[in-house]
């Protein structure tokens, strides 16, 4: 149960004065639907209304607060639909026009009565020789001067929501924020010089200067740390309970692995051997393995996963590899099946596409233990898929699956070891934030013989040259990818871009040009991919459906159209589809001009390095943590107050603090533990408390 002290913060925003259902809808769009969401909606700018000169001394172009006398109302001529309503005001140094478009005379006479003294605040403009203020932000009486002459925070808004309404709603939300018991470590808090939680919240919402908006201020660092501690503590609690659950030691004889290694056309790299040793150590212990295998594109993760799966088979159990898409599952199957055949093992393949008697036969083989290995998609955790003795589950492109899906697969066996893989290198800070519950192995080398990719950026104006160059490459025996962008978040526009480019290239090169996109049915996709890999298609026009898992060694040219629209990690993934054989490869990044500074930096980084881990760190700096993995369903925590690019030091401290808390007070029963429970509920990490209780 959520603690009662937090009830006011988790009330709907409609409980705040002046916020009806219509306004609540706009607030929910930009911040969220509860009072606490407004507390987390920090200002992004400020308007300083403290500049209060006489009219004669006022500087045009600035926000000013003026004390004036209302002299005259000048309504627009009756027949003029466009002329504004003007109100002339003055002080002893000069005069100013207040300008209102579509102004209602009766209302304006009421708030600006002739002869009365008024305070007006807004941006001062010069129109010819006159000074004017269009639609003042504030009109008040002299007694209200102190309320107007303030530093006003500026918040992110949406259509239909004004700054005045948002500001009032946030002030009302802050008034509901209670004094909460202190959950921070006393010595650490004193060393940092941080105020309490409520004082920090108020300070963050009431900036006095531009510097107060910086993430490095005491108030913002304190709030960021609160959020990071809640996240890390939640991960640590769940992790501790998972660790308590008994695993089982899985130790293979090594015979099948030796056979598989002798069937490989290359020797393992140093980092592949190191990762295997770490995985073997985990599987051989009586604790459950939960390990992340990070490898750059083409670093050989599938082979490492397969060799680990053989350990499960050697011990008499089963292993499974799950991928997020049919294309990727098929690619893994095509890598694993020949190696498995070399050691005398058959591999089941299960995707949403496999139906009928063939599927039934495979299901039966998995259920009775005759089939020891399976590769597939989400279809693997459907109810009718039963394993005789599942010991190891490998999940590829982990960030495309939710944690609950990971657990569904684990539930199909007893104390199942989990190995999750990603070809999207994750920056160290994001590793801590999102995958703090996983141990980590890294593959940092490419298999011997791989050629570096020559990466070049050029403007779209040179498109004709590129089309000619692609023709020459194909005549020389190359296979070419041509990737079109997702123009908007829409299948239709995506389809339009790729269909149009396919048509123009096909007009030039005929049947040698194929196309793949998200709307194609599975068998159609497979047919085109097969023709590209082995047959008459030499130029494949595609959307980012080919981003991961497509392995065609003959593909040596990649053209990415409108490259400035792609994220850095995504461009790196796309580039990883070429240079997988022993021939030199070229990646051409075509960009529309003029190109923005961030996009320019992105393309520049890609030209300079092929190291996915370096690229991931740079991507974090350029884009922030919000969308580094290029997908909203990434399973990454969405931070409202912490900026991982700036608060990385706090994240590391929060992780250490969380570990210490779980070691010394795993049930959060002490005085600090009780306060930490409130912290977890405040940041909606309630599930961790339930997990801790459930054991």
Instruction: Order across the sheet with 318-322: list the strands.
Output: 347-350, 373-376, 318-322, 390-396, 417-422, 290-295, 439-443
Same domain assignment for residues 288 and 368: yes
Based on the structure, what is the number of domains in the chain? 4
Same domain assignment for residues 144 and 182: no
Structure tokens given for 112: 């600006």
Per-residue model confidence as pLDDT tens digits over 179-219: 999 999 999 999 999 999 999 999 999 999 999 999 999 99
Per-residue model confidence as pLDDT tens digits over 661-690: 999 999 999 999 999 999 999 998 876 666
Structure tokens given for 555: 């593909």
- CA 675/CA 291 separation, integer angstroms: 32
Same domain assignment for residues 165 and 127: no
Per-residue model confidence as pLDDT tens digits over 384-415: 889 999 999 999 876 566 555 666 777 788 88
Same domain assignment for residues 300 and 423: yes
Same domain assignment for residues 502 and 604: yes
SS3 content of the chain, % helix, strand, coil (to 5): 45, 20, 35
Characterize 173-200 residue by residue with b for buried, 16 or more Cβ atoms within 10 angstroms of its Cβ, and e for exposed: bbebbeebbebbbeeebeeeebeebeeb
- CA 291/CA 306 separation, integer angstroms: 15
Tokens 């922030």 correspond to 624
Same domain assignment for residues 464 and 434: no
DSSP state of 438: S
pLDDT bucket at 235, cuts 50 / 70 / 90: confident
**Average pLDDT for residues 485-509, to the nearest whole number?**
71
Domain at 83, CATH number: 2.40.50.140
Same domain assignment for residues 462 and 599: yes
Same domain assignment for residues 295 and 421: yes
Is 674 within the bounds of a domain? no
Is 212 within the bounds of a domain? no
Chosen domain end from 594, 609, 624: 609
Is 539 within the bounds of a domain? yes
Domain at 512, CATH number: 3.40.50.300
Same domain assignment for residues 11 and 61: no
Same domain assignment for residues 464 and 575: yes
pLDDT at 644: 78
Per-residue model confidence as pLDDT tens digits over 409-451: 777 888 889 898 887 677 666 666 666 657 888 888 877 767 7
Same domain assignment for residues 163 and 294: no
Range of the domain at 100: 50-149
**Average pLDDT for residues 270-288, to the nearest whole number?**
93
């Amino acid at each position: 149960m959520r603690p009662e002290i937090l009830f006011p913060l988790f009330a709907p925003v409609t409980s705040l004065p002046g916020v009806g259902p219509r306004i609540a809808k706009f607030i929910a769009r930009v911040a969220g639907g509860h009072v606490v969401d407004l507390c987390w909606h920090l200002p992004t700018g400020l308007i300083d209304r403290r500049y209060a000169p006489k009219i004669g001394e006022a500087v045009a172009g600035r926000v000013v607060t003026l004390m004036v006398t209302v002299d005259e109302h000048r309504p627009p001529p009756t027949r003029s639909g466009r002329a504004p309503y003007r109100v002339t005001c003055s002080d002893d140094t000069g005069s100013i026009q207040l300008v209102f478009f579509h102004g209602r005379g009766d209302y304006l006479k009421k708030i600006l009565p002739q002869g009365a003294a008024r305070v007006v605040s807004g941006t001062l403009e010069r129109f010819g020789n006159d000074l004017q203020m269009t639609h003042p932000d504030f009109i008040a009486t002299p007694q209200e001067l102190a309320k107007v002459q303030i530093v006003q925070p500026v918040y992110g808004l949406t259509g239909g929501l004004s700054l005045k309404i948002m500001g009032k709603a946030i002030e009302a939300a802050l008034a509901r924020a209670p004094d909460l018991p202190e959950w921070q470590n006393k010595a650490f808090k004193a060393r940092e010089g941080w105020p309490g939680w409520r004082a920090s919240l108020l300070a963050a919402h009431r900036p006095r200067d531009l510097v107060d908006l910086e993430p490095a201020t005491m108030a913002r660092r304190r709030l960021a740390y609160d959020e990071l501690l809640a996240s890390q503590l939640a991960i640590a609690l769940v992790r501790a309970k998972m660790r308590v659950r008994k695993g089982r030691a899985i130790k293979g004889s090594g015979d099948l692995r030796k056979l598989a290694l002798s069937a490989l056309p290359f020797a393992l790299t140093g980092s592949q051997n190191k990762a295997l040793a770490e995985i073997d150590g985990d599987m051989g212990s009586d604790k459950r393995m939960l390990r992340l295998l990070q490898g750059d594109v083409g670093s050989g993760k599938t082979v490492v996963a397969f060799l680990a799966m053989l350990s499960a088979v050697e011990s008499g159990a089963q292993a499974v590899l799950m991928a997020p898409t049919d294309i990727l599952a098929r690619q893994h199957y095509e890598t694993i099946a020949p190696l498995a055949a070399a050691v005398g093992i058959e591999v089941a393949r299960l995707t949403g596409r496999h139906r009928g008697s063939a599927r039934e036969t495979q299901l039966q083989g998995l259920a009775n233990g005759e089939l020891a290995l399976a590769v597939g998609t989400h279809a693997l955790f459907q109810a009718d898929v039963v394993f005789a003795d599942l010991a190891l589950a490998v999940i590829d492109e982990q960030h495309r699956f939710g944690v609950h899906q990971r657990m569904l697969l684990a539930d199909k066996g007893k104390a199942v070891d989990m190995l999750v893989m990603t070809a999207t290198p994750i920056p160290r800070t994001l590793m801590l934030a999102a995958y703090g519950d996983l141990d980590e192995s890294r593959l940092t080398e490419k298999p011997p013989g791989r050629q570096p990719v020559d990466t070049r950026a050029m403007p779209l104006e040179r498109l004709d040259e590129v089309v000619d160059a692609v023709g020459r490459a194909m005549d020389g025996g190359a296979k070419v990818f041509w990737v079109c962008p997702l123009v908007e978040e829409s299948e239709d526009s995506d389809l339009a871009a790729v269909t149009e480019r396919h048509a123009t290239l096909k007009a030039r090169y005929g049947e040698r040009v194929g196309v793949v996109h998200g709307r194609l049915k599975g068998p159609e996709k497979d047919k085109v991919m097969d023709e590209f890999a082995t047959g008459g298609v030499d130029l494949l026009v595609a959307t980012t459906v080919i981003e991961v898992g497509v392995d065609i060694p003959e593909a040596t040219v990649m053209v990415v159209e409108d490259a400035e629209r792609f994220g850095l990690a995504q461009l790196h993934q796309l580039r990883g589809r070429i240079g997988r054989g022993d021939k030199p490869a070229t990646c051409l990044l075509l960009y529309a001009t003029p190109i923005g500074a961030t996009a320019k930096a992105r393309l520049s980084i890609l030209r300079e390095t092929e190291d996915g881990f370096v690229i991931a760190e740079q991507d974090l700096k350029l884009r922030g943590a919000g969308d580094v993995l290029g997908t909203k369903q990434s399973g990454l925590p969405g931070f409202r107050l912490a900026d991982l690019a700036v608060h990385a030091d706090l994240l590391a401290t929060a992780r250490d603090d969380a570990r210490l808390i779980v070691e010394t007070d795993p049930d959060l029963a002490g005085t600090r533990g009780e306060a930490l429970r409130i912290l977890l509920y405040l940041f909606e990490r309630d599930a961790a408390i339930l997990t801790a209780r459930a054991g």
